[in-house]
Structure 1
């Protein structure tokens, strides 16, 4: 049983690793020394110390997910330099911008998202509830060599709590303004000791909403989510383990809650509430099944991951965005994804370490877009007027990849990685005699890194890396009918330093990225089409700094600074918009916070925490006419712990800042009324949660 015990020890170190990033502090009531913890991450698909990984990584341990009150992707991305997320339009729609590279409508993600080793190939899968989480890792910069297509901006690894060989569980209940209820529960342990383990977790969220439709005098951002997850681990033999995972999610809520304010520009549009005569609705269903097999046969570990996922989303809402009873809109999306990954990973304790593997993804995607007549101001009264688009897509993606790292000396490590991606796309236009279009988008993605360990506490690195986001099809009647693949070439240098006898950690990086065929979104209302187009050339230049310091026993200070200056070099072959910022780019982000954990009595503990999130100027379109001014958000948390019980009160957006999280100028959005549109950010929210562990 020697190897089994060794494997369990490695898994225990991986899955119970504490803070793996530098934006947050360590868990409350767990700070027993003045030395910051040594962190293990799996950013490069093998277990490594954070301070020795030559990648810009921010990560969050299970304790920090709890202490920061992280429930959604937007929560942890707001604590990560140079990356921000906006959720709008439907319950599943989200836009992630990392280092100036953005997610857009109806397209592949800008960052690769991986949950328990399974890639989430559709961008609708990121905006989910996060519960029973062991660790979250955020990698910035192109990660194509290991993560493949759609990791053009970075990658997000989400690791849920894994089954253990002892019985344990938790339950949490929360209530907040907007008549918001939340409940989560988890339980896990052995079915057969040291042989068969399980873990089950569930989450329920329900809220009336916080944003008022002023015409209907009703909340427009109502929300309900029900998610369940079941995991099992079978230790089949001394060196073989089998992990199975199933999850189901049902989400519904508001949609198309846009404010309309003429063409006066964003500077005159603050605090305008939606006035639509139809209360929009959306619904998303997600199901996931996966099976992972690990076989350690000494010379290497063979890992095989098979996964099947479905995403279905539909929405209905106002199209004239006003109190008039004119038009409605709707879209129905149905996606099935089947993937298989196989890889071999060498042991860590060798001067030459390597990974090699192959990946396959098959996607069936159907999308139907409809304009409705608004007969009586309700979705039930909608009748179809015209179907603007009805298509099916049959896509096959193939990849092979490899990485090798060699210790040239005890201080110098050189590594190289290479991946080849082929994305074969086929579209059938159901409106035009089942016309079929086919195209394959291919890309080699190399990566080279040199790392130098100056001392045990100081490391620096330099990296050349590449990224790739596949192209695709627009409607056959618009120009361009096909949008090009997007590629990046990234040059980066960074350092990681541990100082003051382990009480201070400072990490930093600087980068310059060349971006070709950046994908942007616009609407052509005359053609009834949503269009993805390309910006031919742009550059991104920036830096990141992350700091964590233990000021005293139980008292931590932490923060992160990100700067990204983007420049359009060639928009469309003309001088148009040359020198402008890229759409959705935020030039600067700054998060600063502190957490104090303390003993009130021998059995009663306390926690005080604040987080400040400063978001610099953000540009919405390539003409840079409309932009959001800088905004600063403040969150507060205070808690009590008594044994296995805890009670926490929180306030998000303490000063009730309101701004437009998403903005669409009529020139780019194809607004039916010719007016600009925007979605308000969430106002101040507050509440209390109680949690018990057993």
Structure 2
């Protein structure tokens, strides 16, 4: 708490003494785009409306640390999927999960999860139009026709519930329009990079029924070269579609039906081995590969949503229904070797249903939000492991010997059911001072079943030629529970003070939790290694300042936080080639800054920055202490981004020049909880774009590049160096594109 007090003082002094950058309007926290204004001369940033509190509110008055990006900002910053959002949010880092191009892993304020097995839930909740997406195996959604993205930092246990212990990412798509709209983009770049997007919207029945349809495809050749297979790898092959119908029979009632489909069929992401055995080929580049495995990653997801909205006086009542199916099939060579040491095979299928009833509104000096929630998920998973263990021979020729192949297969089924009731109430003591309090109570049940086979072949995906090593009966005999029940109370309280029309301050305490589950990814037939783990509980103390200065030409938001974790969940690799997990108590604290400065009517500067520290706490068993490093995984002390965005009108009807440049950096951090030196990484990325748009905005052309200076870096690494391999997964190299845009 002393740290929090120091942070609070620092926040106030920094904001009052330095008219630095200001928070954006159209991009909320990432940079206001120059054409959106409140005044005729375009010198002010316009207001930002977010739904972080499950009701519409001005970003500068919402007592939550939230970053938002609108559709214009998504376009200018070259944000085409969830992975591209990371550098826009202070305290957020992430990447493709190891080898899985369809899966994104988030670490927000130092908390996240790299394990995508169905028995483990993520710590950052992803929501599309207020519908929760449970599995991270196919969560790298392509963005097109998106109204905005909101990233809520810190635990969101009251209004968003389970599995949002680190924060929440909200994708808000565009509603159907009763005016005809048509937009399209065609792009081509290096690596045969092809992009096509189209969106159409308009009325079916005037003022009553409207539709919106969007389609997107993107593909490129591989940017890494596989010496053994003699071809390029790490390609992309994506297709997505979404449709929506909006029915408004009256001014107070509406129903919106949505459906979406996304498929990515690529050869996964090949790693480069940074710990080769003697005699093995070694690479001088992360983009030079030696694996003889034909990797593959197929991710498919489709879902439907039905949202009904009633305006009843000053209250808004919503019914939000959602259904989603997700499938991910992949095979990975984790060793990058001519004779693979470790290959992993996976086939995950998940179905989820959710129903929520929500009410929000105001009455006198009170504002309120409340609701009830139901969630159900059924998942099945196939996991295969193939080993060709090699050890040094002690002689020059051959330099190593091969231990015969080990092949195991595991089948897992999990069912989860969750119920919750929640509410939050704000009382306005005066026009300047308000207090808020809320809580959520969650009931949850999980069931687990597994079978583990030895022998067989990875081509089978069945039990032919296999021997059953153990199943649920063996777990029960060992007193390992196959059913888990959770009940959790997650409150939130705080104060908001409006010092003047341009300065808001807030302080809050909140609790969040991530569901418990089972450590169940096994390599060897040892049923006693299947173990349940408890839910992750976090208490978060946060204080923030939101300011608009110099006639709203500067907007700056600052937040300081202290989070106290009980049973923080971590995963790691162990010396025998397996994957393990553990829970420990920990504390993480930091300061975050976001801002935008409208220098002139056509030019904005923007920035975000985070400083974070963390450490484990409490009594740590000696065996676990030997595994944990001094620093938490994926917790850089510093990270940030700076940039400028221009929208310069030419004389007469000559059109407009649009330009954007940004530079982001991620400071030193470890991708492994062991803090193995080989897992240390840091990187910096520069992006830029310049284009011209016709005066009527009907046509434009843009030249853009990402990672313009071709920084070579890895974002993930699995440390199996004791077995002779440590796969490092590279970020994309320089990618450039020319695109044509049309609007009607």
Match of 1:649 among 694, 703, 718: 703
Match of 2:324 among 298, 301, 309: 309
SS of equivalent to 2:551: helix
Q: Does 1:211 align with 2:224?
A: yes
**1:3 matched residue in structure 2:** none
Query: Is 2:267–2:296's contact at 8 Å kept on the other side of the alignment?
Result: yes
Q: Distance in 1 between matches of 2:259 and 2:710?
A: 39
Q: Distance in 2 between matches of 1:632 and 1:44?
A: 34
Q: Does 1:140 align with 2:150?
A: no
Q: Distance in 2 between matches of 1:553 and 1:330?
A: 54
**1:274 matched residue in structure 2:** 289
Q: Does 1:460 align with 2:505?
A: yes
TM-score normalised over the length of structure 1: 0.91
TM-score normalised over the length of structure 2: 0.85
Q: Distance in 2 between matches of 1:629 and 1:98?
A: 17
Output aligned runs, 1:536-547, within 5 Å: 536-547=584-595
Q: Does 1:438 align with 2:460?
A: no
Shift of 1:524: 5.3
Query: Is 1:628–1:660's contact at 8 Å kept on the other side of the alignment?
Result: no
Shift of 1:629: 4.3
Structure with bigger gyration radius: 2
User: Which shows bigger deviation, 288-297 or 85-94?
Assistant: 85-94
Q: Distance in 2 between matches of 1:260 and 1:612?
A: 29
Query: Is 1:72–1:128's contact at 8 Å kept on the other side of the alignment?
Result: yes
**2:89 matched residue in structure 1:** 80
Shift of 1:511: 0.7
Q: Does 1:287 align with 2:302?
A: yes
Q: Distance in 2 between matches of 1:467 and 1:388?
A: 35
Q: Distance in 1 between matches of 2:334 and 2:665?
A: 33
Query: Is 1:18–1:63's contact at 8 Å kept on the other side of the alignment?
Result: no
**2:648 matched residue in structure 1:** 598
Q: Distance in 2 between matches of 1:393 and 1:530?
A: 19
Match of 1:616 among 667, 671, 687: 667
**1:418 matched residue in structure 2:** 439
User: Which shows bigger deviation, 583-592 or 211-220?
Assistant: 211-220
Q: 1:499 to 1:101 in 2, by over 3 A?
A: same
Query: Is 2:27–2:70's contact at 8 Å kept on the other side of the alignment?
Result: yes
Q: 1:392 to 1:22 in 2, by over 3 A?
A: same
Match of 2:184 among 171, 175, 182: 171
Shift of 1:614: 1.1
Query: Is 2:225–2:289's contact at 8 Å kept on the other side of the alignment?
Result: yes
Unaligned runs of 5+ in 1: 1-16, 375-383
**2:49 matched residue in structure 1:** 40
Query: Is 1:90–1:254's contact at 8 Å kept on the other side of the alignment?
Result: no
Query: Is 2:163–2:515's contact at 8 Å kept on the other side of the alignment?
Result: yes
Shift of 1:576: 4.4
Shift of 1:104: 2.0
Shift of 1:37: 0.5
**2:518 matched residue in structure 1:** 473
Q: Distance in 2 between matches of 1:628 and 1:612?
A: 21
Query: Is 1:220–1:279's contact at 8 Å kept on the other side of the alignment?
Result: no
Q: Distance in 2 between matches of 1:183 and 1:579?
A: 45
Q: Does 1:104 align with 2:114?
A: yes
In the TM superposition, what whole-angstrom CA distance separates every residue of 1:214-248 from its partner, at most 9, and x where no partner exists?
Answer: 33232221111111100011113342111100001
Q: Does 1:49 align with 2:99?
A: no
Shift of 1:165: 1.4
Q: Distance in 2 between matches of 1:253 and 1:571?
A: 45
In the TM superposition, what whole-angstrom CA distance separates every residue of 1:365-392 from its partner, at most 9, and x where no partner exists?
Answer: 0011113589xxxxxxxxx973332111
Q: Distance in 2 between matches of 1:373 and 1:591?
A: 42
**1:151 matched residue in structure 2:** 164
Match of 2:635 among 585, 593, 618: 585
**1:566 matched residue in structure 2:** 614
In the TM superposition, what whole-angstrom CA distance separates every residue of 1:540-595 from its partner, at most 9, and x where no partner exists?
Answer: 01000111101112010110111111112247334547782111212211100001
Q: Distance in 2 between matches of 1:245 and 1:151?
A: 24
Query: Is 1:81–1:590's contact at 8 Å kept on the other side of the alignment?
Result: yes
Q: Distance in 2 between matches of 1:610 and 1:482?
A: 47
**1:22 matched residue in structure 2:** 29
Q: Distance in 2 between matches of 1:342 and 1:474?
A: 34
SS of equivalent to 1:78: helix
Match of 1:510 among 517, 540, 560: 560
Query: Is 1:485–1:517's contact at 8 Å kept on the other side of the alignment?
Result: yes
**1:4 matched residue in structure 2:** none
Q: Does 1:681 align with 2:731?
A: yes
**1:377 matched residue in structure 2:** none
User: Which shows bigger deviation, 229-238 or 425-434?
Assistant: 425-434
SS of equivalent to 1:74: helix
Q: CA RMSD in A?
A: 2.3
Q: 1:586 to 1:46 in 2, by over 3 A?
A: same
Larger RCO, structures 1/2 (Cα 8 Å, 6+ apart)? 2
SS of equivalent to 1:75: helix
**2:265 matched residue in structure 1:** 252
Q: Distance in 1 between matches of 2:619 and 2:631?
A: 11
Shift of 1:319: 4.9
**1:362 matched residue in structure 2:** 376
Q: 1:334 to 1:529 in 2, by over 3 A?
A: farther
Q: 1:320 to 1:33 in 2, by over 3 A?
A: closer
SS of equivalent to 2:672: coil
Q: 1:76 to 1:325 in 2, by over 3 A?
A: closer
In the TM superposition, what whole-angstrom CA distance separates every residue of 1:473-505 from its partner, at most 9, and x where no partner exists?
Answer: 123724361122111111111100000011000
Q: Distance in 1 between matches of 2:149 and 2:376?
A: 27
**1:489 matched residue in structure 2:** 539
Q: Does 1:221 align with 2:234?
A: yes
Q: Distance in 2 between matches of 1:649 and 1:29?
A: 23
Query: Is 1:208–1:223's contact at 8 Å kept on the other side of the alignment?
Result: yes
Q: 1:578 to 1:258 in 2, by over 3 A?
A: closer
Shift of 1:616: 0.6
Shift of 1:21: 2.0
Unaligned runs of 5+ in 2: 1-23, 389-404, 453-469, 477-481, 521-525
